[in-house]
Structure 1
């Protein structure tokens, strides 16, 4: 039996960072949706895509290069692809008399911002139906030091995506280290039943309370003590019994006074 890979769980900030998805089928679509939810700049390379992905491209919510993946795509800049006339769908308007393509200023700016980065992509997903293409993508991504996920053979990649539970600021992830996404999703559903919607308000309030404490309590030891007292509050129970009332700043300051120096 193979030893489980000791994956390192992390929370990655993908906002306004470029991510490449190679493939346009249903598996690729799931990857794309997750990346858009993370507010990444999504680039898709595939001759064909699902109707949902095409709609997103038509709306300018992602960049679609309508062709096969080619060696060197991970090193080429998006601005160069525009200048070379490669067909890229990104809220584009094609002029019939010139054959040229124009984009909205917002999309042009996002592409231009990528052109000077030595390592353009934050993450790469190989999600085609062709194992040879996925293997090529994985090999090139690792050559450039870019984390890569391979949909059909996770062992060829350098990271896997866990099943995710979101309750506002609460993000919980589940991985079975290669035992399969179906099992991961099943475990995630069970956890989701435990971490119900009440946690969203609870975590939001604790975030608000913690940052207020950090702003007004400057001594590190005193701050740690007050934060420990905050963590012990029965806010979640109050929320579940419909008894919780949001604290204003005056209430928080009065509560802090009670615990400072204790």
Structure 2
């Protein structure tokens, strides 16, 4: 992974865009939306940039590039001119001053790159191939946009406004997570754009006592993780603790909830010890094994386990 994914707060930060054409327009529009203090350095401006300038959303220096315009006041520099030689000179000048620089469509001359974005208000999804395949990234973005609910912006704002309230009402982190999972699973929450409806559902969920049901989930996961049924993946993402065999592929572990406690086991004896402890202490326990291991530890599963394709689970 060459590029570390990062969302950067540019509010009221000075950013310099060198160039005034179509490419500069696309980048500048995004920077303005992030509330950066944008300065465009260019003899001419595109219609889009000129409109932003008229509206007072950017500062325009109507000059050709000169190193004197580049100062440490800027937290980012974007080189978007149609001259590769000039862009490379801008890159070299910015590096001397220690300013991160992006030479658009010239990856070797980029300290950072911008991903494709799916924007739903406060919900932002970034997709990047590290510059390897922009068309593939665009196709992935279109696929994600097609399945995401259109009310995510309203929902994100509502959840953000409730953060302090639910922290006071439910001090336990796991209890808060379970509450939000229940709230977000409501069919009306997935569809409505009315905050009043969300408030009604929120208050109803707060008033309902939590039903503590312990779950032990067995998931068979071999090389091709795409064969896992959706029900198995859902269990993996809801687990509080994960016990996994050492031969489980990394892609399989990536499907488990990121902040779940994880313990690896190498043999039957280790699994038995971990199970004895975890069954009594964990509300939702997921045991991830290969097909061979699953067959060899059949007697460790409680009677009455049900089979869901590659997943087994038992409620206690």
CA distance in 2, matches of 1:150, 1:41: 19
CA distance in 2, matches of 1:172, 1:233: 23
Residue 255 of structure 1 corresponds to which residue in structure 2? 206
Displaced runs of 4 or more, over 4 A: 241-244
Residue 115 of structure 2 is aligned with which of 152, 162, 166?
162
TM-score normalized by structure 2? 0.60
* Structure with a larger share of its residues in strand: 2
Residue 188 of structure 2 corresponds to which residue in structure 1? 238
Residue 59 of structure 1 corresponds to which residue in structure 2? 55
Conserved? CA contact 1:45–1:68, under 8 Å = yes
Q: Using a 3 Å threshold, how does the CA distance of structure 1 residues 12 and 250 change in structure 2: closer, same or farther?
A: closer
1:152 alignment partner, SS class:
coil
Deviation of residue 242 (structure 1)? Answer: 5.2
CA distance in 1, matches of 2:207, 2:111: 46
CA distance in 2, matches of 1:212, 1:249: 15
Conserved? CA contact 1:20–1:42, under 8 Å = yes
Q: Using a 3 Å threshold, how does the CA distance of structure 1 residues 16 and 248 change in structure 2: closer, same or farther?
A: farther
**Structure 1 residues 64-73 or 28-37, which shifts more?**
64-73
Q: Using a 3 Å threshold, how does the CA distance of structure 1 residues 121 and 248 change in structure 2: closer, same or farther?
A: farther
CA distance in 2, matches of 1:205, 1:132: 49
Residue 145 of structure 2 corresponds to which residue in structure 1? 192
After TM superposition, list the pairs within 5 Å mapping 1:105-116 onto structure 2. none
Structure 1 residues not aligned, in runs of 5+: 76-118
Structure 2 residues not aligned, in runs of 5+: 213-282, 284-316
Residue 304 of structure 2 corresponds to which residue in structure 1? none
2:68 alignment partner, SS class:
coil
Residue 45 of structure 1 is aligned with which of 38, 41, 64?
41
Matched, 1:228 2:180: no
Residue 112 of structure 1 corresponds to which residue in structure 2? none
Larger-gyration structure (1/2): 2
Matched, 1:208 2:161: yes
